[in-house]
Structures are given as structure tokens and as C-alpha cells.
Amino acid sequence: MRTSFFLPVLIFAAGCALAGCAVGPDFERPRASAPTDWSSARGGDASLHDPALVASDARSSDAWWKAFGDPVLDQLEAQAAAANPDLGTAALRFAQSREQRRATAAQRGPRVDVDATAQRQRPSENGTTSRTIDVLAPAERRDELVRLLSQPFNDYQAGFDASWEPDFWGRVRRSVEAADARVDEAAALFDGARLDVAAEVARHYFELRGLQRQLALTRGDIDAATERFDLTKARANGGMASDLDATRQQALLAELRSRLPALLEREAGTLDQLSLLLGQSPGSLGATLAAVEGEGPPRILPDLALGIPSDVARRRPDIRQAEARLHAATANIGVAVADLYPRITLGAGFAFESLHSGDFADWGSRRWSVGPRLDLPVFDMGRRKSVVTLRKLEQQEAAVAYQGTVLRAWTDIDTALNGYAAERERNERLAERERLSRDADRLADARYGHGETSYIDALDARRSLLAAQRDRAESDAQLAVRYVAICKAIGGGDPH
């Protein structure tokens, strides 16, 4: 009697002693193969490697786009963060992972169920009760007993059952560890979605400003070409110029006008993409993003410094996501291994049961039970061992995926740096070309006015200037876009 009373207590004490154990491998954070410095992680032509471009004194920020100092861009980024559908989906998935973690952690504590019933029953005259009567009752009283025992009766029950499974082998601990890793993975996914959306907003914004700048240049060129055509035609009518000069000027005017439809189409498409990113309908951003006289992509970009390579590895959302997935896969091995061991559940129950409502609360109507339950896996055709092997293979896959993610990260950064360096070099050359073309246009126009050269020379000089201005405007936009690509490649801001 005394032994049976203390048996659950002993099992409880043993469970508390073993609850700190956890089978399976412990997770060790992998070391990202980060280079010691950026100069050792660059590819391509050495002329694109600018040491000043990859300084290590960066101070990253979540709101990296504010470095441009553009209030309109800041407004667009805030609206996208609040209303982008993809961000809303990522936020809900993050919330789901946290709730799933709470549900998993709830396995640590006991479970208590309360139930109550009030039923009126009638046993079958031909059921198991009749067999008992056939064995125990005299034959002459069988029918009478069957009739009496088959009468309807009331049954009142109310009570509770409590159970708790000591986490002997750390199955619950490993499950919670895996759930924590999945929360980290969802957080990294959310940060990655925020970075993608912010980069896409900035990219489309600068492309839009570049297109608006090209539209403004083209319209100005059309106005100037129209005036020159009217003047050339008047001079041709007065015998001071040939009809060929007027025809050539008219052809230039037609060429400039033919550029407008394609530019307007690209502007509308870029506006639609921005509206989609901000969760708004097409046409809703017309007033906010209206072209401003003389405004275009920034020609002076913020200073660019990448920071320490190891910090970049910790900051990129995809690397953090891959690490969290590897952590979850490692913890799941422990869950699978724990299923190979016995599971003991401590249970207790207490209830009142009576056939009469008046006797229901009597102490004599009580019933109770207490004791452990053992679940010992003996034979399952190797299913549990196969699950362990499967979890180990999943961990190996996650480890390989992590290394691949790290390699892709350095490739993305190097590609972005090379693109930015090349575009910056091109932009400097285009600025020089525009300056020289403007000087040549003024000189050719002056010489043509004094009759020192033919009109075709002046026309060629003007065409060269117009092409240089358009190419410079397009390069200004592309340089800002390349800058945004670097910000995205290095992970934007600090991880949460």
C-alpha cells in the first residue's frame, strides 16, 4: 500500500531529475565563410576595384534610403511598409510562427480536462448484461432480472482528469528549440521581404525620376527644335538657307517627337509598379510623383561603405534564414531520437458519479485514480529509426543550403559593386561628353550664324548634344539604381 502510494512520487522525482537532459546533437552556429577584407572577395577587372568604395566604417541603418535626403522617397517607403500586400503576408506568417511556438511550449506543463455528463440510459435486453445474468442468475428469474436491469435510469457524472509527461529525453525541449528557430526563420523572411520592398520602391522611384528627366529634356529639345525649324524655314523662304537645311531640321524634330510615346509608356509602367508596391490602385500616385522642374535622379549619391564582411554576413536576411533553418533541422533530430525512448505519463483523475441527483454530492459518490502510464516502443518495422535518419539527412541538406546561401551573398555583393563602379565610371565620362558637346554646339551654332560652316555641321553638333544629355540623364538614374542594388546586397540595415 505504501509502495503503491510512493511510486508516482518517485517517478515524478525521476522525471524532474531527467528533465534537463536532451538527446540529439546540440546546435552550433556555423561560421559564414566571410573574407577578412573586401579586396580578397572581388572578381572581374581590377580597374573596377576602388578601395574607397568598400571602406569598413559603415554604420548600417534600417532606413538606409534616408541617406538620399529625398522626402518624397521617404514618404513612399513609409506607405509601402504600411500597405504592401507581400509585407502583410510576411508579417502574418511571423505571427503564426510565434503562436506555433507558444503551442509547442505548452507541452511542458500538465494538461487538465474537466467533463460533466447527465444522461438517461436504457441497457439492451440482449446485450452483455443478459450474458452475465445467464451465468449468475437462476433460470426461473432470468426474464425478471433482464426486465429490471433494462429499465431506463439516470447517470450523473462530473470530474476532472490531469496528466503530465515528464520530458525525460528532451523531446519537448527540442521541439521548442525547433519552434524558436522557425520563429527566427520567419523573422528573417519578414526582414527579407521588407528589404526587397524597400529596394524595389527606391529602384522604381529613381527610374521614374530618370524617365521624367528624359521627358523634360525631350520636350525642351522639341520646343527648341521647333523654333529652329521655324527659323530655318523662314531663312529658306528668304533665300538665306536652302530647303535642304529646313528638311533636315524637320527630320530632327520628327525624330525627337517619336521618342515621346515610348518614354511616356515607360513612365506609366513605372508608376503602376510603384502603386502596386504601395498597395494602391493605378493612377493614385500621379499627384505625389508629378515631375518637378529640373528634378531628376540624384547626381551626388551618399557615401558608400560596406562595413566589415562578417557583419554583412550576419545582416543579410537570407543568411539568417538559412541559419535558422539549419538550427530547426538540428533540433528535429533530437525530437526524432527522443521518440525511440519510452514515454511515461503521470495521470490522476477525480469525479463524482451517482444514479440519483440527490446523492450526487455525497462523499460516497466519489471515484478517483492516480498512477503512471508507460508507452514503450517495441516494434514498428523500423519507422522511428527511419525518421531519425531522415532528420539527419534534412540537417545535412540545410547545412549545404547554408553554405550555398553564403556563397551567393558574396557573389551578389561583388556583382553589385562591379556594376556600380562601372556605371560610375561611365557617368563621369558621359558628364565630360555632355560638357564638350555643349561647347561644340555653341561653337557650331555661332560659326553657322556667321556663315563660316554648313548647316549640317550645326545640326550634327546639336544632335550630339541632345544624345549626350539623354545618355547622362539615363546614367544618373542607373547609378542611383546600382547604389540601391548594393544596399540590398549588403542586407540594408541591422537585423532585429
pLDDT band at 55 (very low <50, low <70, confident <90, very high): low
If one compares 114 and 139, the residue with the highest pLDDT of the two is: 114
User: In this model, does residue 14 exceed pLDDT 80?
Assistant: no
Query: What pLDDT sits at residue 38?
Result: 65
pLDDT band at 37 (very low <50, low <70, confident <90, very high): low
Helices (H), 47-127: 71-83, 85-105
Per DSSP, the three-state class of 95 is helix
Q: What is the pLDDT of residues 412-433, one digit of tens each?
A: 888 888 899 899 999 999 999 9
Q: What is the pLDDT of residues 293-311, one digit of tens each?
A: 656 677 778 777 676 777 7
User: In this model, does residue 398 exceed pLDDT 90?
Assistant: yes
Q: Which residues partner with 354 through β-bridges?
A: 156
Per DSSP, the three-state class of 433 is helix
Query: What pLDDT sits at residue 233?
Result: 83
Query: If you average pLDDT over residues 149-178, what whole number do you get?
Result: 89
CB 376 within 8 A of CB 344: no
**Closest to 248 (Cα-Cα) out of 414, 51, 459:** 459
Exposed e or buried b per residue across 44-79, where buried means at least 16 C-beta atoms within 10 angstroms of its C-beta: eeeebbeeebbeeebebeeebbeebebeebeebbeb
Q: Determine how β-strand 153-164 pairs with β-strand 111-121.
A: antiparallel
Please state, for a pLDDT cut of 70, what percent of the chain lies above it. Answer: 87
pLDDT band at 461 (very low <50, low <70, confident <90, very high): confident
Q: What is the pLDDT of residues 116-128, one digit of tens each?
A: 898 988 888 787 7
User: In this model, does residue 486 exceed pLDDT 80?
Assistant: yes
Q: How many CA atoms does the CB half-sphere of 392 hold within 13 Å?
A: 9
Distant-in-sequence, close-in-space partners of 105: CB < 8 Å, separation ≥ 6:
172, 176, 179
- Side chain identity at residue 360, one-letter code: F
**Closest to 263 (Cα-Cα) out of 336, 186, 207:** 207
Q: Kindly provide the residue ranges of all beta strands, DSSP E only, lying in 190-290, ordered along the sequence.
A: none
pLDDT band at 49 (very low <50, low <70, confident <90, very high): low
What sign results for the dihedral spanned by CA atoms 6, 10, 12, 13? positive
CA-based radius of gyration for the chain: 39
If one compares 51 and 347, the residue with the highest pLDDT of the two is: 347
Query: If you average pLDDT over residues 209-227, what whole number do you get?
Result: 87
All three cell numbers of 25, joined, read 546533437
Most confident stretch, 13-22, 97-106, 377-386? 97-106
- Of 66-70, 301-305, 471-475, the one with minimum mean pLDDT is 301-305
**Closest to 204 (Cα-Cα) out of 142, 272, 119:** 272
CB 305 within 8 A of CB 51: no
pLDDT band at 46 (very low <50, low <70, confident <90, very high): low
Query: What pLDDT sits at residue 333?
Result: 96
Query: What pLDDT sits at residue 74?
Result: 93
Query: If you average pLDDT over residues 53-69, what whole number do you get?
Result: 69
Q: What is the pLDDT of residues 192-201, one digit of tens each?
A: 999 999 999 9
Query: If you average pLDDT over residues 443-463, what whole number do you get?
Result: 80
**Closest to 492 (Cα-Cα) out of 316, 307, 320:** 316
Exposed e or buried b per residue across 355-385, where buried means at least 16 C-beta atoms within 10 angstroms of its C-beta: eeeeebeeeebeeeeeebeeeeeeeeeeeee
**Distance in angstroms (rounded) separating the CA atoms of residues 102 and 446:** 80
Tell me which H or E stretch contains 51: none
Query: What pLDDT sits at residue 1?
Result: 43
What structural domains and CATH numbers belong to the chain?
A: 12-108+168-341+381-489 (1.20.1600.10)
User: In this model, does residue 52 exceed pLDDT 60?
Assistant: no
Query: If you average pLDDT over residues 150-155, what whole number do you get?
Result: 84
Assign residue 31 a region (left: φ > 0; alpha: ψ between -120 and 50; beta: otherwise).
beta
**Distance in angstroms (rounded) separating the CA atoms of residues 232 and 225:** 10
Average pLDDT, the chain: 84
Query: What pLDDT sits at residue 360?
Result: 80
